[in-house]
Amino acid sequence: MRKILCFVGVFACVTVGWAEERQVALVEAVAPVYPPIAAYTATSGDVKVKLMVDRTGSVTTASIVEGNKLLSAAALDAARRWRFSTSDEGKEATIVFSFRILPKGTSESELAVRFRPPLGIEVRRMVPEATTNSDPAADPPKRKAK
């Protein structure tokens, strides 16, 4: 029984070492802009974007793995602008963009973008106040009380 456990332990170490070799090092990250329509509709959630990174560290292709359609375009646009360390060969990476709606009255510091190593980012926003467009000149005249 002990021999099996030791073998599993060695296999796990080899797998972890192999996974670390394949990871790319992040050099520059760009936060997405929270889409206004998603903010107004209080839409939140995670968007996973799969990237192919070339030898120079530039993103060559980016595609949505999963996520809400209202949030996906902003995540994809930001992901294409990320930069990674150079390598001898192209690499693959998956970024997780988390879009979060916070309650009204949340402080500015709490609304700041949060980077989640190694390849995650959280964008926060409050639901905007509803506004109405009115032209005071277009309002009917007020009647004077007699």
Domains and CATH numbers, the chain: 25-128 (3.30.2420.10)
In residues, how long is the chain?
Answer: 146
| Cα(56)–Cα(24) distance, integer angstroms | 12
**Average pLDDT estimate for 130-137:** 66
Q: Where residue 9 falls among pLDDT bands split at 50, 70, 90?
A: very low
What pLDDT, on a 0 to 100 scale, did the predictor assign at position 146? 65
Give pLDDT, residue 128: 84
> pLDDT-derived band of residue 17, with 50, 70 and 90 as boundaries?
very low
Per-residue pLDDT, 137: 64
Which 3-state string (H, E, C) describes the chain?
CHHHHHHHHHHHHHHHHHHHHHCCCEEECCCCCCCHHHHHCCCCEEEEEEEEECCCCEEEEEEEEECCHHHHHHHHHHHCCCEECCCCCCEEEEEEEEEEEECCCCCCCCCCCEEECCCEEEEEEECCCCCCCCCHHHCCCCCCCC
pTM of the model: 0.72
Task: Kindly tell me the burial class for residue 24, based on how many C-beta atoms sit within 10 Å of its own C-beta (0-12, 13-18, 19 or more).
Answer: buried
The whole-number pLDDT of residue 24 equals 75
Q: What pairs with residue 97 in β-bridges? A: 47, 121
| Closest to 50 (Cα-Cα) out of 101, 5, 86, 96 | 96
Task: Report residue 136's pLDDT band, with 50, 70 and 90 as the boundaries.
Answer: low
Q: Is the pLDDT of residue 141 over 70?
A: no
Mean pLDDT of 63-72: 97
Best mean pLDDT range from 12-16, 34-38, 85-89, 138-142:
34-38
